[in-house]
Amino acid sequence: MRALLLPLALLFSATAAHAAPKPPENPDGYRVMLVGNSLTYANNLPALLRAVGAAEGKAISTETFAAPGGTLSERVADGAVTQALQERSFDAVVLQEQGGHLAACMSSPSAQHKAPCAASRKAYAALAEQAKARGARVLLMATWGPDERWDARVARSVAMHAKATGSETFHAARALHALRTAMPGVQLIPDGIHPSTHGALILALALYRELTGQAATAHELRINAPLLPVNAAVSPSTPLESQPALAGDGRTTVVPVELMAPLVDALAKPSGEMLPPRRGR
């Protein structure tokens, strides 16, 4: 974990897509459910999203159901997500499938009907149907791989799931590419899999834009939750936000405006429909 934690000392000071239709303004704030695994909770994307909302004067609350290496099929099977959708209302539900071959399986005709991909397809459909039945937007996260070919395969696969379920795509890999283009030396996926602090921050800014239809501006961020490591003891049975072991020690992590400005600028630059090339990790 040292490679993930080291950038924090440099970045932070601690104190005690195809464009979708613009979402309607929500004066009461946004209630967001995130379902996924360590790609979502590493460096705590939900907490960063809440911090971006607070800095913009828009209340965002999150409930996150995740487990290390978890799949959407497992989240359907354990029932916690279904129960939450039945008991509470959400403005948006973000679904993030396990990375690697499963995330990209729909892009391969030979893999589409194999058991893991078929189970993933059914899980996307079940969760999207449950969320939409409660009036929530459904965003399918198009994650990333080790190179541009994997990114394109994942994007195609998620687009197919989105079309089949009537959902929208959140192009997370495109957000990472935007920052990589603007800041070529930045480490975004230091272990080849999980987002760094820079990576998680650009994802939070991009997800905020997807949810609200408005680009964030450069503000100081105040994060009142720990930036979780990959091996955090996350349980999928209850929302991550309510698990005492993940609550931290009450300190606030501050991201100065000077460090947010380049990320905001990177995301504001126009990007093409195709994922631009990159090589290696």
Per-residue pLDDT averaged across 38-44, rounded?
Answer: 97
pLDDT digits over 174-223, tens only?
A: 999 999 999 999 999 999 999 999 999 999 999 999 999 999 999 999 99
38 lies in which domain range?
Answer: 2-268
Position 281 in a domain: no
Rounded to 5 degrees, φ, ψ at 14 are -100, 140
Ranges 153-162, 171-180, 198-207, 246-255: which has the least confidence: 246-255
Rounded to 5 degrees, φ, ψ at 65 are -115, 110
Total domain count, the chain: 1
Ranges 12-21, 47-56, 132-141, 159-168: which has the least confidence: 12-21
Length of the chain: 281
Position 279 in a domain: no
Per-residue pLDDT averaged across 210-237, rounded?
Answer: 96
Indicate which CATH number applies to the domain containing 188. 3.40.50.1110
Closest CA to 81 of 122, 127, 124: 127
Element at 3 (helix H, strand E)? helix 2-11
Position 275 in a domain: no
Per-residue pLDDT averaged across 134-148, rounded?
Answer: 95
Percent of the chain with pLDDT over 70: 86
Q: At what angle do helices 148-165 and 172-182 cross, to 10 degrees?
A: 150
Cβ atoms 47, 227 nearer than 8 A: yes
Position 177 in a domain: yes
Position 274 in a domain: no
Q: Tell me what the pLDDT averaged over the chain comes to.
A: 89
Look up tokens 């490679």; give the residue: 3
Position 122 in a domain: yes
Q: What is the pLDDT of residue 27?
A: 62
Is the pLDDT assigned to residue 142 strictly greater than 90? yes
* Percentages (nearest 5) of helix, strand, coil residues in the chain: 45, 15, 40
Element at 196 (helix H, strand E)? none
Residue 84: pLDDT band (50, 70, 90) is: very high
Position 21 in a domain: yes
Position 14 in a domain: yes
